[in-house]
Structure 1
Amino acid sequence: MNERILRVLEFHKIIDQLVAHAATSIGKDYAANLKPSSNIQQVIQLQKETDEAAQIIRLNKTIPLGGITDIRPSIKRSEIGGTLSTTECLDVANTIYGGRQVKTFVENLEEDLPIFKELVSAIIPLRDLEIQIKSCIDDHGYVMDSASQKLRGLRSTIRTLEARVREKLENYTRTNSKMLSDSIVTIRNDRYVLPVKQEYRGSIGGIVHDQSASGQTLFMEPKAVVDLNNQLQETVLNEKQEIDRILKELSEQIALEADALNDNVRILAQIDFMHARALLGNQMKAVKPEMNDEGIIQMKQARHPLISMDEVVPNDIEIGKEYTSIVITGPNTGGKTVTLKMVGLCTLMAQAGLRVPALDGCRLAVFDEVFADIGDEQSIEQNLSTFSSHMTNIVEIMKQVDHKSLVLFDELGSGTDPGEGAALAMSILDEVIAREARVIATTHYPELKAYGYNRENVINASVEFDVESLQPTYRLLIGVPGRSNAFEISKRLGLDSSIIERAKGLIGLDSKNVENMIASLEESQLSAERDYQRAHEVLMESESIREELEKEWKQIQNKREEIYKRAEDKAEKAINKAKEEAEAIVEQVKQMKTNVDIKEHEWIDAKKRLEGAMPKLASTQKPKQVKTSSEKNDLKPGDEIKLLSVNQKGEVIKEINEKEYLVQVGIMKLKVKRDEVQLLGKPKQSYEKPITTIKGSNYHVSTELDLRGERYEDALLKLEKYIDDSLLAGYPQVSIIHGKGTGALRKGVQDFVKKHPNIASSRTGENGEGGSGVTVIKFK
């Protein structure tokens, strides 16, 4: 872009604000050099970068950019063999640390930020170099004793020598205080000295290093400490040489990582630059524009970026679809020039990757060039009048303008004869429009008010003026040319009505007709805006009612969920209580089973207690069953079922009638209806031999247990339960089918049988009983 255009549209003021938002010196350099791009792909990429940074700001998170400095000059010096200072080395370490912090911060963000995450993935941590520098130099830039063993030793020697020198000199201050101007030990030329009175110079003896302004005090180094001071100075020199060696070594290590460090600095500068663009947009309450290369500009409630939000009047602007040119007419100080600058500056900002102050959904075009002839650039040195200055700019614009240009003309054709100026303005507009450029022009000439009605792709606009208050409203009215308002203003200011009427008679009929037409258009525009405002208010009220209804519905849903939750909690407590009672009953039954003489009434009483332990829950919704005609009486004794009310498996004992069945669930027998159970499967044939079923003591259990295919632990658990059930059923003997296999399961069964107190004996099955694959048990 032409530097003059950037200056005229005050783009540099936007850059100043952007620089202020950058956190690092390298980020500020990037911001200061920002220029609009005419490459649409590059502009789209810049806008994506800014948008990602804006997402981080919306999360109320701050990128940790502290401690990062521009270390590129230091890196360059290290590469050519220079020795860096402690401050420079520390800046390198801090920048490495800052880069690692930024990398961790971005990687931990859950948002989808592909650009940021790709950038930080290229940051090289360089942890070893940072540790090496920090182990030698503290946060204040001081080389620590731990930097090397030699340095530690030298500094220990320095402290010892200093102590000895001070001790000797302090002896002088105590024994010869009358010879001293002050009883202190001080330093001159890096050597410890005493302030000796002039008349005692010979008495003290030694080397004079300085004297006071009056000459009455000499700063002398007594002979007794000369050698110690010499040793001290030599050691200090050695210390400096060791520090230089350490810094040289660190500089060499930095030079080895020069490429990685430069890459890190570049990435961190880019991240800071992106973040600064997002911060500026956030400050302006700006939005991401949708970019196009079709010359289309559509902005709703757009604001001039450099005018305070408390003062600026937002306006809608559209160009490039139905029309390519806008001619704005209206009085001075009405906001025409501000509108021109707003469109131009927003376009430049968007092409530089910055957000624009408007409502969401705005569209802006990428132009190869933005041309502007705004303001009076009259030059005394060049002997140019206002008209000549404008025409000089316009001549240069006409040499370059094409279909990829945005052209802004302020007061086109002004500064010369009105008739000629108007004709020239229309001719210039015709030429620019013919080249398919996008044009916005302001003018005072009444001839241009009719221009938009006689040309394709051109529309009139004006800035509104309030005749009652005699003040501009700064509102832009698209489609309505501006009125002069001269008669109305004069009348409001008190000019005699007869003079105004006489003036009206002097203007031509055409002018009257144009003014009447403009007045009608203004009234229509205002009426349409009032209707729109009323419709918008109704829409907002409807939205508010809808949101309120949604809120109430959500509260109802939450309340219903809460009721369900309370019901579930109550049911769970009832079930848990039932389980506890059932476990107590089972435990009692286990104790009772050891007694052979169980009384019938005790057994019946325990069974009733177990049935009574089941919770009586009122189900709010019965489980849905898809019934078919074949399912009406589909349950048979032995079928495996699930009792839906407690979600437990069981077995059908018998059919009571067409609707009710007696089922066994665990050790409980229950009478249930057909829709309270779900059929899981028919009984399996577990062995070649028919299984006989014996019912003893009203308890139903098979006389055989098939353990084949079971895991060892599961098999023993099933065996233990089966033995208990068989004892309760009153069987004299049962058969355990374990198969032959490896013999592990058979041995486990036989070991269990031997230890059981209620088993009298056991034997291997005979040929007709399954042979060694079966163990027959007899109970006591």
Structure 2
Amino acid sequence: MINEKSLKTLEFDKILAQIAEHTSFSAGRRLVYDLVPTTDLEEARIWQRETGEAFDMLQKEIAFSLGGAHDIREEAINAQRGVVIEAGILLDIRYTLRRAGLLQRDLHRLRKEYPLLAEWADEMDECKSLQQDIARSIDDSGDVKDSASPRLAIIRRDLKQSFDRLQTKLNRIITNKTNLQYLQDNVITMRGGRYVIPLKADFRGKIPGVIHDQSSSGATIFIEPLATVELNNAWRELQLEEDKEIRRILAALTDEVAKFSEDIVRAVEIMGYLDFTLAKARYAQAMNAIQPRMREFTPKKDVPDHPGSTISLQGARHPLLKGHVVPIDVTFDDATWVLVITGPNTGGKTVALKTVGLMTLMAQAGLHVPAEKAELSVFTGVYADIGDEQSIEQSLSTFSSHMTNIISILRECDSTSLVILDEVGAGTDPAEGSALARALLDKLLHKHVTTMVSTHHPELKIYAVETPGVRNASVEFNLETLAPTYRLIVGLPGRSNALAIASRLGLDDDIIDSARGLVATEDLVADDLLDEIQRTRVEISSKHDETEAMRQEIQDLRDDLQARLDQIEDERRDIIRTARRNSEQELEEFRKELKRLQDDMRRKSMPIEQLEALKAAADKMTDWVGRPMDEEAVEPVQETDWKPRLGDNVFLDTLNAEGTIVEMDEKEALVQVGSLRVRAKYNDIRKRTRSERRAAKRGHKREYAPSDPLPPMPESPGMELDLRGERVETALEKLDRYIDAAYLSGLPFGRIIHGKGTGKLRDAVRDYLQNHSLVSKITSADNNEGGAGVTIVHMASLN
């Protein structure tokens, strides 16, 4: 069980608030705020894999959508108790179930690549019959349709006729020349649900009627003429009948909702969970986070007292810090399970503690962590005592409050717990505080509890050196600038640097010397040794950075040289291919000429020996042209053993574009090219060669001028032609020009958008294309790509 106080202390609630901003559905937002880190290893791993699948979908820009979904669980549950659902809510139910169906189909299609998310989606029931019932009765504006019941249709017909009669009668009254002088204005208005006319108060009684209201000034009274009372009554009665019939229809639909109540609630819960998972992935993407490796507790053979926990973070960044965040590296080696961090104030000790604690909680909650690499155990308890815990209400000092918290932690923690203590032993007499801190660490050490503490007590530095299982760490401080670097150095104890800082700030040298004389000689020697170690470390780090920079420069030069060699090889291949193409053309012409001479020689009875010699020469040239190129020097265009799989990035030569395979069948693959989905045969797709991938990565494109110029390829007219709204004659003219341009530009197919309508334009387009010489076949588009409103035209081969 994760301690709630520790969740607050480590600011896990602020992480949840940031994730909630990435949700698009109220049910998903609620799950975010209810998220609590798990203590089960397998559950943590599953959560991480689910977030990883959603993250991968975002990276490939194929994330699912929850647009149109609503949290209608309360209404569905109330339907079981007979609470009538309003028309607008019924429409929300229909939209939510429709979104559930679309989501289920989208993820089912990708189940091989994203099995965990698809498994969740498979549990949803879109309740098609309920959707159809609602659609028959409720329009897209949330109003009950006339066709919802025969009785409603009759009532609304009568209502319209009654209304027309009433309006006609009132119009005759206000347009009567005799009545014009009595009216304040010749308009019809409504008061109390009945139609009335405005009459001047001075002419009260001139037009017989019932007074319903008067103006604030009293100058105008609103009367219902006696001649329209019965008409008003009839109209109002029909309104009440309409309301009654609508309530009956809504009650019947509510009964249908009640039958599917459990399915509706489950569908909303699953969509909420998927939205919650997608929000975690969006947060990971925004934070440039990675999926941590969740490790089980493994005993260390050489250190039997080690609890078997793992904490290894490289380049970890606290997710709540803004601006330039300095990453830290924290690793507990196989002989360490207690880490003591020392160093000056404001140096980053508390941030380091919070980073490790928060990363652990995030990992156990299925969240990716902002780091370069992360391996963490799943702890059954995470306990933290950080910050000023002084409580005025409970009459507790800072020290007392910390002690109360630590006592509770010691009572609850065990060998599978992580304990984080900030400024242990502070807030009291230094000697007693130091002794108490060492005793606390002894207790945690012997309970085999993975622990991180920060302190200013120098005795704990010696304790960490002398005690097996405990290791020193420090936060780096730049004495030249008097500023912390916020880097954590594991293996070296820190120092307060008080004398050095005071000297740099301008304190008199005699005071500094006097203070130095009061410090024990052993402490001064230790500080000097730490300074020397720190300077040596900085020099080694600087040399390492220089070496790394040189290595990177050499790698860049090597890549550049390889790219040049690839370019030379490509040019050689292009020259050979161009020469071969020219040779084939010349050989074809030679064959034609040879055939012509053969016919002439036969007609003129010339010796057959000369003809055979010419034929032998032609065969020799054919053998030379047919020889394969030197494949040892030429990089193959495509790997011969490569087989396309879902998720592969492939290149379509016909479109000169790269895309991702999202669906496969026996003959074709569906390739996502940007926002466009293209069906292509397997022999029309390939993987890019190494040189092509390197060229694309380096941002340049190679172009070679062929030795034998070919006619330029006409500009592509685009993948779609929209003919909606066109007359048949004009549409066919545009279609003819489009087919010519598409064929000449080498497009494999095109989408002709003609709409459904009456079908006249569609039939004309398909009749025209059916017998076109440049068209190999035509097909209707899939339902999710336009259905009968779109015709796919496949071009004949250029060859």
TM range (shorter): 0.7 to 0.9
Question: Is structure 2 residue 385 aligned with structure 1 residue 373?
Answer: yes
Q: For residues 28 and 37 of structure 2, what CA distance do their matches in structure 1 show? A: 17
Q: Per-residue CA shift, 1:362-419, capped at 9, x if unaligned?
A: 1111111111111111112222111111111111111122111111111100111111
The alignment covers a number of residue pairs equal to 615
Question: Is structure 2 residue 333 aligned with structure 1 residue 327?
Answer: no
Q: For residues 156 and 577 of structure 1, what CA distance do their matches in structure 2 show? A: 83
Q: Per-residue CA shift, 1:422-454, capped at 9, x if unaligned?
A: 011011001101111111111111222212111
User: Residue 517 of structure 1 aligns with which residue?
Assistant: 529
Question: Is structure 2 residue 194 aligned with structure 1 residue 191?
Answer: yes
- Unpaired runs of 5+ residues, structure 2, are 298-308, 630-799
* Secondary structure, counterpart of 1:393 in structure 2: helix
Residues 664-683 of structure 1 correspond to what in structure 2 (within 5 A)? none
Q: In the alignment, which of 479, 489, 501 is matched to residue 467 of structure 1?
A: 479
Deviation at 1:178, TM superposition (A): 1.6
* Secondary structure, counterpart of 1:299 in structure 2: strand
Q: In the alignment, which of 229, 233, 236 is matched to residue 233 of structure 1?
A: 236
Change (3 A) 1:422 1:149: same
Please tell me whether Structure 1 or Structure 2 has the larger radius of gyration of its CA atoms.
1
User: Residue 354 of structure 1 aligns with which residue?
Assistant: 367
User: Residue 376 of structure 2 aligns with which residue?
Assistant: 364
* Secondary structure, counterpart of 1:619 in structure 2: helix
CA contact (8 A) 1:575 1:615 kept: no
* Secondary structure, counterpart of 2:473 in structure 1: strand
Residues 372-521 of structure 1 correspond to what in structure 2 (within 5 A)? 372-521=384-533
Change (3 A) 1:242 1:569: farther
Deviation at 1:202, TM superposition (A): 1.5
Q: For residues 168 and 334 of structure 1, what CA distance do their matches in structure 2 show? A: 88
User: Residue 124 of structure 1 aligns with which residue?
Assistant: 125
> What residue identity is the alignment partner of 1:332?
N
Deviation at 1:246, TM superposition (A): 2.1
User: Residue 44 of structure 1 aligns with which residue?
Assistant: 45
User: Residue 543 of structure 1 aligns with which residue?
Assistant: 555
CA contact (8 A) 2:20 2:32 kept: yes
Residues 666-745 of structure 1 correspond to what in structure 2 (within 5 A)? none
Change (3 A) 1:434 1:546: farther
User: Residue 561 of structure 1 aligns with which residue?
Assistant: 573
> What residue identity is the alignment partner of 2:150?
Q
Deviation at 1:180, TM superposition (A): 1.4
Q: For residues 509 and 150 of structure 1, what CA distance do their matches in structure 2 show? A: 104
User: Residue 171 of structure 2 aligns with which residue?
Assistant: 170
Q: For residues 383 and 534 of structure 1, what CA distance do their matches in structure 2 show? A: 57
Q: In the alignment, which of 320, 334, 338 is matched to residue 306 of structure 1?
A: 320
Q: For residues 26 and 622 of structure 1, what CA distance do their matches in structure 2 show? A: 67
CA contact (8 A) 2:37 2:364 kept: yes
Change (3 A) 1:120 1:560: farther
- Unpaired runs of 5+ residues, structure 1, are 593-597, 625-780
CA contact (8 A) 1:373 1:393 kept: yes
Q: In the alignment, which of 213, 218, 221 is matched to residue 215 of structure 1?
A: 218
> What residue identity is the alignment partner of 1:600?
S
User: Residue 23 of structure 1 aligns with which residue?
Assistant: 24
Deviation at 1:220, TM superposition (A): 1.1
Change (3 A) 1:612 1:381: closer
Deviation at 1:282, TM superposition (A): 0.9
Change (3 A) 1:582 1:244: farther
Change (3 A) 1:258 1:568: farther
CA contact (8 A) 1:185 1:194 kept: yes
Change (3 A) 1:481 1:586: same
**Bigger mean CA offset, 139-148 vs 397-406:** 139-148
User: Residue 8 of structure 2 aligns with which residue?
Assistant: 7
Q: In the alignment, which of 290, 293, 316 is matched to residue 293 of structure 2?
A: 290
Q: For residues 607 and 506 of structure 1, what CA distance do their matches in structure 2 show? A: 115
* Secondary structure, counterpart of 1:616 in structure 2: helix
Deviation at 1:607, TM superposition (A): 6.4
Q: For residues 16 and 575 of structure 1, what CA distance do their matches in structure 2 show? A: 74
* Secondary structure, counterpart of 1:112 in structure 2: coil
Instruction: Report the TM-score, using the length of structure 1 for normalisation.
Output: 0.75
> What residue identity is the alignment partner of 1:248?
A
Deviation at 1:455, TM superposition (A): 0.7
Deviation at 1:608, TM superposition (A): 7.0
Change (3 A) 1:116 1:553: farther
Change (3 A) 1:86 1:615: farther
Question: Is structure 2 residue 331 aligned with structure 1 residue 318?
Answer: yes
Q: Per-residue CA shift, 1:538-561, capped at 9, x if unaligned?
A: 332233233323333433343333
Change (3 A) 1:110 1:85: closer
Deviation at 1:586, TM superposition (A): 8.4
**Bigger mean CA offset, 520-529 vs 166-175:** 520-529
Deviation at 1:583, TM superposition (A): 6.7
Deviation at 1:507, TM superposition (A): 1.5
Deviation at 1:23, TM superposition (A): 0.9
* Secondary structure, counterpart of 1:301 in structure 2: strand
**Bigger mean CA offset, 279-288 vs 514-523:** 514-523
Deviation at 1:562, TM superposition (A): 2.3
Q: For residues 182 and 188 of structure 2, what CA distance do their matches in structure 1 show? A: 14
Instruction: Report the TM-score, using the length of structure 2 for normalisation.
Output: 0.73
Change (3 A) 1:93 1:579: farther
Q: In the alignment, which of 203, 209, 228 is matched to residue 200 of structure 1?
A: 203
Deviation at 1:213, TM superposition (A): 1.9
CA contact (8 A) 1:37 1:352 kept: yes
Residues 100-179 of structure 1 correspond to what in structure 2 (within 5 A)? 100-109=101-110, 112-175=113-176, 176-179=179-182
Deviation at 1:508, TM superposition (A): 1.3
**Bigger mean CA offset, 420-429 vs 76-85:** 76-85
> What residue identity is the alignment partner of 1:190?
G
**Bigger mean CA offset, 600-609 vs 272-281:** 600-609
Change (3 A) 1:608 1:539: closer
CA contact (8 A) 1:198 1:216 kept: yes
User: Residue 624 of structure 2 aligns with which residue?
Assistant: 619
Change (3 A) 1:566 1:125: farther
Deviation at 1:581, TM superposition (A): 5.2
CA contact (8 A) 1:210 1:220 kept: yes
Q: For residues 587 and 134 of structure 1, what CA distance do their matches in structure 2 show? A: 78
Deviation at 1:26, TM superposition (A): 0.7
CA contact (8 A) 1:346 1:356 kept: yes
Deviation at 1:529, TM superposition (A): 1.8
> What residue identity is the alignment partner of 1:398?
L
Q: For residues 87 and 587 of structure 2, what CA distance do their matches in structure 1 show? A: 75
Q: For residues 198 and 358 of structure 1, what CA distance do their matches in structure 2 show? A: 82
CA contact (8 A) 1:571 1:617 kept: no
* Secondary structure, counterpart of 1:327 in structure 2: strand
Q: Identity rate of aligned residues, in percent?
A: 38
Q: Per-residue CA shift, 1:593-645, capped at 9, x if unaligned?
A: xxxxx763387787677667658368379689xxxxxxxxxxxxxxxxxxxxx
Change (3 A) 1:251 1:577: farther
Deviation at 1:502, TM superposition (A): 2.2
Q: In the alignment, which of 606, 609, 628 is matched to residue 601 of structure 1?
A: 606
* Secondary structure, counterpart of 2:205 in structure 1: helix
Deviation at 1:166, TM superposition (A): 1.3
Change (3 A) 1:441 1:582: same
Change (3 A) 1:349 1:162: same
Q: For residues 625 and 535 of structure 2, what CA distance do their matches in structure 1 show? A: 66
* Secondary structure, counterpart of 2:453 in structure 1: strand
> What residue identity is the alignment partner of 2:319?
P
Q: For residues 607 and 205 of structure 2, what CA distance do their matches in structure 1 show? A: 127
CA contact (8 A) 1:64 1:101 kept: no
* Secondary structure, counterpart of 1:65 in structure 2: coil
